[in-house]
Copies of this chain bind each other. A is one copy, B any other.
Amino acid sequence: MIYITRKETFSAAHKLERTDWTEAHNMEVFGKCSNPNWHGHNYILHVTVKGEVNPETGFVINLSHVSEILKSKVLAKVDHKNLNMDVDFMLGKLPSTENLAISIWNEIKEDITALGGILHCIKIQETDKNFVEYYG
């Protein structure tokens, strides 16, 4: 078993705000992340796939195929977008880093399986000081 990781980046706006809460309660729980006029980040996404090495190619999986999946299923939807408003797989969810990682996992899991790999981890870094890892 070996683990291979592809890194991609995207830039997006979001806010952490529950419309069923008062602005004061949003501020108490989410702090400056609840700014009504949005803020944004350069997100760093790491996708890790595990599997046996194919002796024909020396690869667990062809990373260029992983990259194509990420481009069509994730990056085209989130890069230079608003995570609360523009992204089909985030609609109705609070766009915390945790929820974003879980949603990207669900979005690409079957495609990775179809390539012959096993999706192992989605890691998302929101700022230089914070990141989340999800293993399914």
Contact = CB atoms under 8 A, between A and B. Distances in A.
Interface of A: 1-9, 11-14, 16, 29-33, 35, 37-42, 48, 53, 57-60, 62-64, 79-82, 85-86, 93-99, 101-102, 127-135
Q: Indicate how many identical chains form the complex.
A: 6
A32 to B, nearest CB: 4
A23 B33 CA distance: 29
A64 B16 CA distance: 14
Contacts of A134: 2-3
Nearest to A121: B3
Q: Is the interface of A mostly helix, strand, loop or mixed?
A: mixed
A80 B1 CA distance: 28
